[in-house]
Chain A
Amino acid sequence: MPDASPIGIFIAGLLTLGIFSFLYKDNPVYKVCEAIFIGVSAAYWAVEYFYSALYRKFWLGVFPPAGSGVEADLLLWGGAILGALMLCRMIPKINWLSRWPLAFIVGATAGLYMMLFFVSNAMKQIESTMQPLIQDSLLETLGSFTIAIGTITGLIYFFFSKEHKGIFGGAAKVGIWVLMVTFGASFGYTVMSRMSLLIGRMDFLFNSWATNFGQMF
């Protein structure tokens, strides 16, 4: 935090310790720190969205400052009207009007995602799975076989129209193992990430906060 103020660093350290106090047991200090965190986060997001969406995007877009050379974008009125209609939810007599912007959002999102997922998550992924089994090196060949076996057995596990018995059942069991290894790897990465958060706070307390504490007192 190169430009953080000493008082800001001091308060941040106290709040960090307050949150850590939950590890001993639930206590009022933790509750206060948690409430501050939630309140500040909500306020920050509200202000940021107001500034970026309503002021920067809409107001300056529709009424650009004189001499800026930017032309007014009248299409933004469409978004503003739809946004205002969303607020009609709070008025019972005309709350049906809020369905129009919702329909627009659902339609636009569904339309965009249908194409994106079909190309990026279906076609490209299938293409990258269907590789030649024999590769240039032994390691790559083993990798290709692992992907092929993992994909086929994983799909068999999720095929419920046939009872998991005999060879089919054996393949489904291999599929479960593949899934377990995948979940294990994912969980390992999650632990790594959570530990990084702790290390980041420790680094802050021992370096920024302790140094700042020494300078303040």
Chain B
Amino acid sequence: MAHNLALIGLVLTGLSLIYVLYRTIAGNPVDRRVVFIYVALAAGLPLFMDLLPPVTVTPDVQALVDVLEELPPHSKVLAAFDYDPPSAPELQPMAVAFFKFAFKKKLDVIIVGLWPQGPQQANDAIATALLDSSVMAAGPIYGEDYVNLGFQSGNEFVIQRMGSGFKAMFPRDERQTPYDSIPVLQNIVNFSNIDFVMNFSSGKPGTIEWVQIAVDRFGARLGAGNTAVQAPQVYPYLRAKQMVGLLGGMSGAAEFEKALSMPGNGSIMLLSQISTHAIVILFIIIGNTAYFRTRKRKND
């Protein structure tokens, strides 16, 4: 019922744009608040629909998934959470899919954060991942299969110092357990004991700093999930093979979920993003059509 009503609402929203085009060409442009309502409808209505948009997994995402799948069980994966709640719509679905995959595959995950709220986002993602019965069945145990070392201030200097020893920067986990007493951290001294680094980032310090220090200085292998606004700055590092793969924005999250066969919020919200993009494009067309028609009329 909700699906059908939302679909009808979306179609009517699209059709009503013909009237907006007519008004704009006639010299009566709509108020900016009307544009906001259109964008809100385009973003909100698809959330009531049971439709998952077709997603094609791009080579950048597939490359990251291939590397993750090649990791044998109990490989040591460092997961760096460098974002806060405002970036959660894009990065949280990636993090949830990552934890589902890691726990099912029995990877040993070590969580750190260069942003104060990053480790909390990781805890939220783990709690969401554990709602999945197949993940719950894998039974990941804190301290043995994963650990959250918490936030450490110092930005990129933390990564630099981790190159000589993780313990110096994270002497205890976020539950105040000493580093040496945590089973999953046994024999982990620095990046040379880490099989893969996965970074979720929305700014600085973030992926670029992990590339510059962990990859180029200490030889770590890095994959990353970024907000769409940050992704264009990171693509040059991917092309230079300083990273193995990149998930860019909500579309990257949806592709990651599809490649791992774990549909989640990224896939669900992608439909909203497609419809809001369509609305923005249509308004650009309406605005430009009206502009050129008005200019032609003035010239005549």
Contact = CB atoms under 8 A, between A and B. Distances in A.
Contacts of B232: 182, 185-186, 189
Contact of A2 (B124, B156, B277): B124
A192 B216 contact: no
Contacts of B269: 196, 199-200, 203
B249 A49 contact: no
A203 B270 CA distance: 12
Contacts of A48: 116, 151
B212 A120 contact: yes
B62 interface: no
Contacts of A2: 124, 127-128, 131
A198 B171 contact: no
18 contacts: A2-B127, A2-B128, A3-B127, A23-B33, A49-B116, A52-B116, A69-B178, A116-B213, A120-B215, A128-B241, A182-B232, A185-B232, A195-B43, A195-B272, A197-B86, A199-B272, A199-B273, A203-B89
B44 A195 contact: no
B47 A45 contact: no
Interface of B: 33, 36, 39-40, 43-44, 47-48, 86, 88-90, 116-117, 124, 127-128, 131, 150-153, 156-157, 160, 168, 171-172, 178-181, 211-213, 215-217, 227-232, 236-237, 239-242, 248-251, 265, 269, 272-273, 276-277, 280
Contacts of A125: 236, 240
B174 to A, nearest CB: 9
A192 B252 CA distance: 12
Contact of B276 (A57, A112, A198): A198
Contacts, number: 145
Interface residues of A, number: 51
Contacts of B179: 70
B116 A189 contact: no
Contact of B248 (A116, A124, A189, A190): A189
Contacts of B212: 116-117, 119-121
A100 interface: no
A49 B153 contact: yes
Nearest to A112: B160
Interface string A16-56: 00000001100000000000000000001100110011001
Contacts of B217: 116, 119
B150 A52 contact: yes
Contact of A192 (B153, B228, B239): B228
B180 A69 contact: yes
A23 B31 CA distance: 12
Contact of B250 (A23, A53, A192): A192
A189 B228 contact: yes
Nearest to A119: B216
Given A120-B216, A186-B232, A199 B153 contact: no
A203 B38 CA distance: 17
A120 B211 contact: yes
Contacts of B229: 189-190, 192-194
A202 interface: yes
Contacts of A1: 124
A191 interface: yes
Nearest to A185: B232
A91 to B, nearest CB: 25
Contact of A23 (B36, B150, B241, B277): B36
Nearest to B115: A48
B277 to A, nearest CB: 7
A206 interface: yes
A196 B90 contact: yes
Interface in A57-83: 57, 60-61, 64, 68-70, 73
A52 B151 contact: yes
Residue of A2, A69, A195, A206 ringed by the most chain B CB atoms within 10 A: A195
A135 to B, nearest CB: 13
